[in-house]
């Protein structure tokens, strides 16, 4: 790590402690648990067992496209992403879906997405290199700009009023990834899917940012007679998924105003009476 980067990180750390000392202390208290997680994973022993519940693999147009691609505009993806994407994106296939790829490079990714989502899809490509303009066509609009530039995203939002899927395969630096998410996740449609690729390395900063997001999904507010009233974030964000090198965020199909946990059934052991409600308060 360069001295300038180290100095900037230390400056940010000092700022964070001064601005939000209580949050900084809570994060510090979480350090031993993060260390436990690191140590647990590092000491993991390889198991060669296989699942007893293997199921037929789901057909995956993206995989088929990549397997068949031997010439023409190139696609550059980690192979294991294709199965993950199919899991989160198949609901959009063959529908009028608006999809953005950040990082166009040689145009093959956009072709793969068009093949996957079908004829009704509208694609948007974003790249810092003006040469990528050549991939514009009747179903693909190309924006040239820097994904770390917030005003660039302001312009993009004006020109793309509806967006269902965003795949960030751009510069892969954490400031670029975080800025893109901050600017575009709120703009995604309900039910939309945000994918950030290529988060790699121990203690990656994007992962630290994502920890703030996942932690916020677990936030508890006092239990009300009609349940727990969700925060705006909990109401709109359905889930956050962490895979090797890739994080996926799914937006809720509709706002989730409350979390409720009704006790169903009539027969209950007495030993937890009162305790569960106390835990919720």
Which parts of this chain interact with ligand SAM (CB under 6 A)? 74-77, 101-105, 108-109, 126-129, 146-148, 169-171, 176
Nearest by Cα to 66 from 58, 55, 76, 57: 76
The CB-of-179 to ligand SAM minimum distance in angstroms stands at: 9
Q: Which is nearer to ligand SAM, 170 or 192 (CB)?
A: 170
Q: Which is nearer to ligand SAM, 122 or 176 (CB)?
A: 176
Q: Which is nearer to ligand SAM, 74 or 186 (CB)?
A: 74
The CB-of-30 to ligand SAM minimum distance in angstroms stands at: 31
The CB-of-95 to ligand SAM minimum distance in angstroms stands at: 22
Q: Which is nearer to ligand SAM, 36 or 133 (CB)?
A: 133
Separation of alpha carbons 93 and 118, rounded Å: 6
First to last CA, the chain: 45
Q: Which is nearer to ligand SAM, 9 or 131 (CB)?
A: 131
The CB-of-146 to ligand SAM minimum distance in angstroms stands at: 4
Helices (H) and strands (E) in the chain, counts: 11, 9
Nearest by Cα to 227 from 195, 199, 261, 254: 261
Rounded (5°) CA angle 145-147-153: 80
Tell me the DSSP string of 82-122: HHHHHHHHGGGTTS--EEEEE--TTSHHHHHHHHHH-TT-E
The CB-of-77 to ligand SAM minimum distance in angstroms stands at: 5
């Amino acid at each position: 790590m360069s001295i300038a980067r180290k100095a900037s990180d230390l400056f940010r750390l000092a700022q964070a402690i001064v601005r939000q000392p209580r949050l900084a202390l809570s994060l510090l208290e979480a350090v031993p648990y993060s260390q436990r997680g690191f140590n647990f994973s590092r000491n993991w022993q390889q198991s060669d067992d296989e699942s007893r519940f293997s199921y037929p693999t789901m057909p995956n147009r993206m995989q088929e496209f990549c397997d068949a691609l031997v010439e023409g505009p190139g696609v550059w993806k980690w192979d294991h992403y294709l199965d993950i994407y199919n899991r989160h994106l198949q609901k959009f296939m063959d529908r009028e879906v608006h999809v953005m790829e950040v990082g166009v490079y040689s145009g093959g990714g956009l072709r793969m997405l068009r093949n996957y989502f079908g004829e009704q899809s509208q694609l948007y490509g974003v790249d810092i290199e003006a040469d990528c303009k050549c991939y514009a066509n009747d179903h693909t609009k190309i924006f040239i700009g820097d994904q770390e530039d917030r005003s660039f995203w302001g312009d993009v939002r004006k020109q793309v009023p509806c967006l269902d899927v965003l795949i960030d395969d751009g510069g892969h630096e954490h400031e670029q990834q975080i800025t893109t998410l901050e600017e575009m996740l709120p703009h995604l449609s309900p039910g939309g899917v945000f994918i950030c690729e290529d988060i790699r390395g121990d203690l990656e900063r994007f992962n630290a940012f994502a920890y703030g997001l996942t932690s916020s999904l677990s936030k508890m507010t006092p239990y009300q007679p009609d349940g727990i009233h969700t925060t705006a974030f909990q109401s709109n964000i359905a889930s956050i998924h962490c895979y090797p090198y890739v994080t996926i965020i799914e937006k809720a199909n509709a706002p989730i105003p409350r979390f409720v946990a009704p006790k169903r059934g009539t027969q209950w052991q007495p030993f937890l009476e009162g305790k569960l409600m106390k835990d919720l308060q």
